Amino acid sequence: MEQNQTSRRRVTNPITGFLAVIGGWTVNAVQIMGDFGCFLFSIIYGIFTGLNRRTIRELFIQMYEMGTLSIPVVMLGGGFIGAVLAVEAYPQFKAIGAGNRVGSVIVISVVKQIGPVLTAVMLAGRLGGSMTAELGTMRVTEQIDALRVMAADPVRTLVVPRVLACIIMTPVLTVFSDSIGILGGWLICVGVEGVRNYPFWHYAQTGMDMFTVLVGLIKAFFFGLVISTIACYKGFRCGNGARGVGRACTEGFVAGFCVILLANFILAVMLNNIYIMLWPNQPSIL
Instruction: Tell me: does residue 152 bind other proteins (CB under 8 A).
Output: yes
Q: Which is nearer to other proteins, 54 or 196 (CB)?
A: 54
Shortest Å, Cβ 241 to other proteins: 13
Residues 6+ apart with CB under 8 A from 116: 174, 216, 217, 219, 220, 223, 264
> What's the N-to-C CA distance of the chain in angstroms?
62
- Please give the residues from 102 up to 141 whose contact with other proteins meets the rule CB under 8 A: 138, 141
78: number of Cβ within 10 Å: 28
Of 115-123, 148-156, 182-190, 238-246, the window that binds other proteins (rule: CB under 8 A) is 148-156
Residue 282 DSSP code: S
CA distance 159 to 147: 13
Instruction: Tell me: does residue 143 bind other proteins (CB under 8 A).
Output: yes
Of 4-12, 18-26, 142-150, 271-279, the window that binds other proteins (rule: CB under 8 A) is 142-150
Instruction: Tell me: does residue 146 bind other proteins (CB under 8 A).
Output: yes
Shortest Å, Cβ 125 to other proteins: 22
CA distance 212 to 215: 5
Near other proteins by CB under 8 A: residue from 17, 27, 69, 145:
145
Q: Which is nearer to other proteins, 11 or 150 (CB)?
A: 150
Contact 245, 101 (CB under 8 A): no
Near other proteins by CB under 8 A: residue from 19, 21, 54, 206:
54
Report CA-CA distances (Å) from 128 to 104, 114, 135, 209, 256.
Answer: 33, 19, 11, 32, 8
Instruction: Tell me: does residue 35 bind other proteins (CB under 8 A).
Output: no
H/E stretch holding 28 reads helix 14-49
Instruction: Tell me: does residue 84 bind other proteins (CB under 8 A).
Output: no
Q: Which of 101, 119, 124, 137 is nearest to 220 (CA)?
A: 119
CA dihedral 25, 28, 33, 37 (to 10 degrees): 180
Shortest Å, Cβ 147 to other proteins: 8
Of 80-88, 98-106, 151-159, 244-252, the window that binds other proteins (rule: CB under 8 A) is 151-159
Q: Which is nearer to other proteins, 15 or 151 (CB)?
A: 151
Shortest Å, Cβ 138 to other proteins: 8
Q: Which of 92, 95, 119 is nearest to 106 (CA)?
A: 92
Instruction: Tell me: does residue 88 bind other proteins (CB under 8 A).
Output: no
CA distance 139 to 118: 30
Q: Which is nearer to other proteins, 15 or 149 (CB)?
A: 149
| Binding stretches for other proteins (CB under 8 A) | 54, 138, 141-143, 145-146, 148-153
